[in-house]
Amino acid sequence: MDASLAETLAAWRRHLHTNPELSLQEAQTAAFVCARLAELGIPHVAGVGGHGVVATISRGQSNRSVGLRADMDALPITETTGAAHASHNPGVMHACGHDGHTTSLLGAAALLARDTTWSGTVQLVFQPAEEGYGGAKAMLEDGLLDRFPMERIFGYHNWPGLEAGTVAVHDAAVMAGGTRLEITLDGHSGHAAMPHLTRDPMLAAGHLIVALQSVVSRNLDPMQPAVVSICMVDGGVASNQIPTRVTLRGTCRSFNEATRLETEAAIHRIAAGVAATFGVLAQVSIPPGISATVNHRAEADMAAAACQEAGIPFRRDLAPAMTSEDFGWFLHERPGAFVWIGNGPSEGGRELHNSNYDFNDAILPNAAGFLAGVARRALRG
């Protein structure tokens, strides 16, 4: 990649970082993407599965096709980086690097548009609402694969703690499937000085939080990774009143369907048991979540081969992570691979979903180069 394009991509990335939009609200981000695609002379369609954008580059006589995907949404986090390009949208920031992912795909579009050596069709998928709001599924339900045919699909996530610009390729599991968890405990309120006249949902909530830690440690096969985390407690309106209701919210994650079902069954059983013990009522809500992201081996090999051809450093020895990514829905429908690209050191709060995180612009050439390279490699079969 020439220095001019690298500088342009860095400027685009910082613009997106300054102007983040939450899931399902990515209208201006999509408009920015469409404007850049128009400048590159690449035809595109907006409004796919919400604010999604799909661009198509075709050349030559080959009927082969491949998809490349990037996510666009930000998170409800207040930024603390102090960077000149920090978020101008209070309480919203690109704390997961989707600004960099979007820019990388625009960079791949620029590289592919100016390269006449390949033949076939590349579909560039700019996806909204990845952060737990079903953006991948919405695009699929809007006919993505029928309207924009692709034989395979590839994508990436930046990865703090991995050497900057290095690609990590997994043979199978990459990231866990996950879903939101909500448990409501209803009791009987009353004066804090007369607890014997109440049914205390706060006490039950405390015991339930502890009891739920036994789901993974005592209910599941220890060879099958899973996580159950309670991250929010909502209850009470006064310091001297035992409340009527307490709500717990969190997440559960695993790599396969059997473990997911066992986890959910244990959560229901334990919640009911704790509620009965303390004389309160429990309601458990675990909606359908994100599918695990599991690579297809042939496409993982293609990703590694693309790195080798482009001179991009890569590794195949990293373990999968319990974080979730809805790219897995695409891998249910088409073979493909999802890789990590190192963002550099993670110290000082530069982890994903941290208020001090920022995407490393120095990796944009490798990220865009990987996406363009794996597309060319896939089109050769």
165 and 50 housed in the same domain: yes
- Which conformational region is residue 171 in: left (phi greater than 0), alpha (psi within -120 to 50 degrees), or beta? alpha
**pLDDT at residue 289, as a whole number:** 83
Domain extent for 191? 177-285
Decide if 205 is inside a domain. Answer: yes
Average pLDDT of 226-244?
Answer: 97
150 and 193 housed in the same domain: no
7 and 136 housed in the same domain: yes
* Residue at which a domain ends, from 239, 265, 285: 285
pLDDT greater than 90 at residue 6: yes
Decide if 182 is inside a domain. Answer: yes
75 and 38 housed in the same domain: yes
When comparing pLDDT for 183 and 178, which is higher? 183
226 and 241 housed in the same domain: yes
**pLDDT at residue 1, as a whole number:** 81
Q: Kindly report, residue by residue over 32-71, the tens digit of the pLDDT.
A: 999 999 999 999 999 999 999 999 999 999 999 999 999 9
pLDDT greater than 90 at residue 298: yes
Of 221, 101, 224, 217, residue with least CA distance to 159: 101
Decide if 290 is inside a domain. Answer: no
**pLDDT at residue 216, as a whole number:** 95
Average pLDDT score over the chain: 96
Average pLDDT of 107-116?
Answer: 97
Indicate the pLDDT class of residue 257, thresholds 50, 70 and 90: confident
Total number of domains in the chain: 2
Decide if 306 is inside a domain. Answer: yes
304 and 272 housed in the same domain: no
Decide if 144 is inside a domain. Answer: yes
141 and 36 housed in the same domain: yes
60 and 166 housed in the same domain: yes
Q: Kindly report, residue by residue over 86-105, the tens digit of the pLDDT.
A: 999 999 999 999 999 999 99
11 and 121 housed in the same domain: yes
CATH code for the domain in which residue 44 is found: 3.40.630.10
pLDDT greater than 90 at residue 132: no
188 and 142 housed in the same domain: no
Would the pTM of this model clear 0.85, i.e. be above it?
yes
207 and 302 housed in the same domain: no
Decide if 148 is inside a domain. Answer: yes
pLDDT greater than 90 at residue 299: yes
* Residue at which a domain ends, from 227, 257, 285: 285
pLDDT greater than 90 at residue 331: yes
13 and 96 housed in the same domain: yes
Decide if 253 is inside a domain. Answer: yes
**pLDDT at residue 288, as a whole number:** 83
Indicate the pLDDT class of residue 245, thresholds 50, 70 and 90: very high
* Residue at which a domain ends, from 285, 303, 335: 285
CATH code for the domain in which residue 197 is found: 3.30.70.360
